[in-house]
């Protein structure tokens, strides 16, 4: 059955053949309805097992017991059955949207079958492995078959950039800031859609957490599966090389006015006098980001909770170092295995205001949670959580 799904998908996509894949990341284990659970259980009943290493994206439940999920029966039971079925298929119980932080890092040029938009874009762009944006059900089918259609971003010629996203006109101080990357990613996705672009004008490698934030935001506002940054990402030693020596079809020259407009667009609660919660960790927080959070809180008590979403890999380090106890005593609610945008964890409020430093959360939270959003840096998020009101270095 899995192979039939893969083969028919290849036919519909116009692929001439299937190729072997070295690993998979499965997004289809998040409960959206009973059909997903029943599909996974049918695979289990048929004796299916994944043929390659397969990590799991977030589920609908926090199986670590860090946070309370307001998912009622029978949905709760079906969500648990879905998670259990993917375990029985042989998938790793990673439950994170950032498997690349948990040791799942395929080598450059390796063909894989990954789901989840931020994981896909990081895998392609930062690691230089090759995957399309595999949707629910097709991802697990590829993992079981060990094959994927040879089409799209698996083909080297489709990975060349066609346009330039030029940030040379932006202040160096902004490009060196934490807030730059979700803003630029949100703008990049909106401008390029599903095209392949190369960012030109970044003088210093910003670090993986910044690239993670950029890719997640770009994949949320556009259908970005791959980006290049000249001199930073592995396939783009310079802009000309990743353009394949062909002139760019379009050059987008980013201005401070464009940055300001994008920053404003990330907030839907402009003028709010109070906030109800802060949510960070979309994609899941890394160990380094937790270290930063601990330094910013520095013993302060929070007036409103910070929901810090992460994976088991980072949670294990926090528990070993005592960071979890320090954060929870300050008022941080750690969310593992899932996140507040895909399952009901935030208190139900008709007029709630959520603050975040995540471009992805800012994009999805209003529609998924009902909360309006304020975007700010992590420092602004912590200061605001301590005060119970927006504390912004720069007004939205």
pLDDT tens by residue, 325-337: 999 999 999 999 9
pLDDT on residue 349: 85
Contact indicator for 90, 49 with CB cutoff of 8 Å: yes
Tokens, residue 180? 């730059």
**Rounded CA separation 202/168 (Å):** 8
pLDDT band at 396 (very low <50, low <70, confident <90, very high): very low
Torsion angle in degrees (nearest 10) through CA of 281, 283, 288, 293: -20
pLDDT digits (tens, 9 = 90+) for 24-40: 999 999 999 999 999 99
Question: What is the largest distance, in Å, between two alpha-carbon atoms of the chain?
Answer: 60
Q: How many H-runs (helices) and E-runs (strands) does the chain carry?
A: 15, 14
Over range 233-248, report the average pLDDT: 97
From the candidate CATH numbers 2.40.50.100, 3.30.950.10, 3.30.499.10, 3.40.50.300, the one assigned to the domain spanning 2-156: 3.30.499.10
pLDDT at 343 over 70: yes
pLDDT on residue 263: 95
Contact indicator for 370, 269 with CB cutoff of 8 Å: no
Question: What percentage of the chain carries pLDDT values higher than 90?
Answer: 97
pLDDT on residue 395: 41
pLDDT digits (tens, 9 = 90+) for 74-89: 999 999 999 999 999 9
Give residues with Cβ within 8 angstroms of 248, minimum separation 6: 161, 162, 163, 164, 239
pLDDT at 393 over 80: no
Q: How far is CA 105 from CA 53, 102, 121, 143, 326, in A?
A: 11, 8, 13, 16, 30
Over range 298-304, report the average pLDDT: 95
pLDDT digits (tens, 9 = 90+) for 91-138: 999 999 999 999 999 999 999 999 999 999 999 999 999 999 999 999
pTM given for the model: 0.96
Q: Tell me the domain boundaries of the chain.
A: 2-156, 160-265, 277-387
Question: For strand 18-20 and strand 147-149, is the pairing parallel, antiparallel, or unpaired?
Answer: antiparallel
Q: How far is CA 86 from CA 140, 172, 254, in A?
A: 9, 46, 43
Round the average pLDDT of the chain to a whole number and report it: 96
pLDDT digits (tens, 9 = 90+) for 2-60: 999 999 999 999 999 999 999 999 999 999 999 999 999 999 999 999 999 999 999 99
Over range 363-368, report the average pLDDT: 95
**Rounded CA separation 224/203 (Å):** 23
pLDDT band at 350 (very low <50, low <70, confident <90, very high): confident
The dotted CATH code for 277-387 is 3.30.499.10
Of the candidates 331, 350, 342, 393, the one whose C-alpha atom is nearest the C-alpha of residue 62 is 342
Q: Do domains 2-156 and 277-387 have the same CATH topology?
A: yes
**Rounded CA separation 158/249 (Å):** 15
Of the candidates 97, 126, 118, the one whose C-alpha atom is nearest the C-alpha of residue 285 is 97
To which residue do tokens 């990081």 refer?
A: 122
Instruction: Determine the 3-state secondary structure of 369 from DSSP.
Output: helix
């Amino acid at each position: 059955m899995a192979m039939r799904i893969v083969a028919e998908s290849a036919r519909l996509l116009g692929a001439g053949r299937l190729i072997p894949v070295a690993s998979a990341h499965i997004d289809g284990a998040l409960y959206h309805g009973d059909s997903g659970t029943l599909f996974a259980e049918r695979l289990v009943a048929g004796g299916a097992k994944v043929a390659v290493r397969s990590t799991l994206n977030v589920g609908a439940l926090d199986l670590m017991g860090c946070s309370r999920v307001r998912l009622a029966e029978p949905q709760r039971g079906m969500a648990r059955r879905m998670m259990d079925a993917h375990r029985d298929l042989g998938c790793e119980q990673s439950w994170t949207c950032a498997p690349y932080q948990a040791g799942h890092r395929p080598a450059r040029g390796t063909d894989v079958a990954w789901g989840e938009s931020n994981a896909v874009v990081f895998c392609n762009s930062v690691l230089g492995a090759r995957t399309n944006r595999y949707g629910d059900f097709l991802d697990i089918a590829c993992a079981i078959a060990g094959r994927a259609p040879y089409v799209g971003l698996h083909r080297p010629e489709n990975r060349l950039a066609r346009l330039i996203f030029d940030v040379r006109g932006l202040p160096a101080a902004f490009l060196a800031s934490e807030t730059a990357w979700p803003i630029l990613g949100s703008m990049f996705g909106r401008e390029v859609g599903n095209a392949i672009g190369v960012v030109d004008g970044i003088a210093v490698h910003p670090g993986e957490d910044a690239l993670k934030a950029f890719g997640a935001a770009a994949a949320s506002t556009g259908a970005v599966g791959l980006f290049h940054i000249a001199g930073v990402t592995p396939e783009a030693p310079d802009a000309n090389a990743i353009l394949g020596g062909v002139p760019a079809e379009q050059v987008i020259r980013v201005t401070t006015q464009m940055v300001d407009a994008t920053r404003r667009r990330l907030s839907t609660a402009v003028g709010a006098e109070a906030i109800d919660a802060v949510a960070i960790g979309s994609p899941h927080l890394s160990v380094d980001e937790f270290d930063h959070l601990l330094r910013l809180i520095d013993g302060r008590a929070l007036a409103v909770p910070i929901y810090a979403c992460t994976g088991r890999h980072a949670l294990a380090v926090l528990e070993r170092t005592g960071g979890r106890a320090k954060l929870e005593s300050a008022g941080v609610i750690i969310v593992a295995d899932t996140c507040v945008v895909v399952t009901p964890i935030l208190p139900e409020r008709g007029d709630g205001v959520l603050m975040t430093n995540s471009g992805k959360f800012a994009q999805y939270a209003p529609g998924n949670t009902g909360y309006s959003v304020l975007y700010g840096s992590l420092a602004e998020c912590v200061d605001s959580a301590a005060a119970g009101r927006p504390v912004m270095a720069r007004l939205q």
